[in-house]
Amino acid sequence: LVTVVEGRQRCQAIYKPAVGERPLWDFPSGLWRREVAAYRVATDLGWPIVPPTVERDGPLGIGSLQFFVPAQFDQHYFTLKDLPQHRRVLRQLCVFDLITNNTDRKGGHILLSDSGRLWGIDHGLSFHEEFKLRTVMWDFAGEPIDADLLGDVIRWTETMPSSDVAALLDVEEIDAMRIR
């Protein structure tokens, strides 16, 4: 957790430098890139479901910097999934996890902000070229994807990947995302 200062303005953010990553046998190094790519894909889809995340060279070197969401941390997927006002965004996050091949969606990775908005966080283990979807959001399995969400995805696939996303992922990962 870091404080970002720009002139007189301040905000908190989560800084994930490359130097702090622990190697994983099934993911290449550079997990911070996936954090940035997840935000860019969500933005390209027109879905404000990932907090703003950028690439920055911070005190420990290059990494991702994600806006810290002031949240009700006692709330998570399992306390929110049956509330009608959150179903739409949860369905959106579920489709997002399929597209990005999220291999680490835990209940606590869905935040209810103090303003009442849902956010998905912690996307470092996403975009793998092998299908490895691991998510807690199985409540929507077998249900059709909402037509408007599917329309967003179809429009996005016509221009994907944006150059911003292509610069962060391997060609194989982008090809796999396109197939999904």
Q: Nearest-CA neighbor of 100 among 151, 163, 146, 37?
A: 37
d(CA 38, CA 76): 20
| Radius of gyration for the alpha carbons in the chain, expressed in angstroms and rounded | 16
* pLDDT tens-digit series, residues 73-122: 999 999 999 999 999 999 999 999 999 999 999 999 999 999 999 999 99
Question: What's the DSSP call for residue 86?
Answer: H
Across 14-18, 24-28, 98-102, least confident range: 24-28
Query: What pLDDT is stored for residue 41 in this prediction?
Result: 97
* pLDDT tens-digit series, residues 120-176: 999 999 999 999 888 888 888 899 999 999 999 999 999 988 889 999 999 999 999
d(CA 144, CA 28): 33
pLDDT interval class at 43 (50, 70, 90): very high
Query: What pLDDT is stored for residue 137 in this prediction?
Result: 87
Query: What pLDDT is stored for residue 161 in this prediction?
Result: 85
Question: What's the DSSP call for residue 80?
Answer: H
Query: What pLDDT is stored for residue 82 in this prediction?
Result: 95
Question: What's the DSSP call for residue 136?
Answer: S
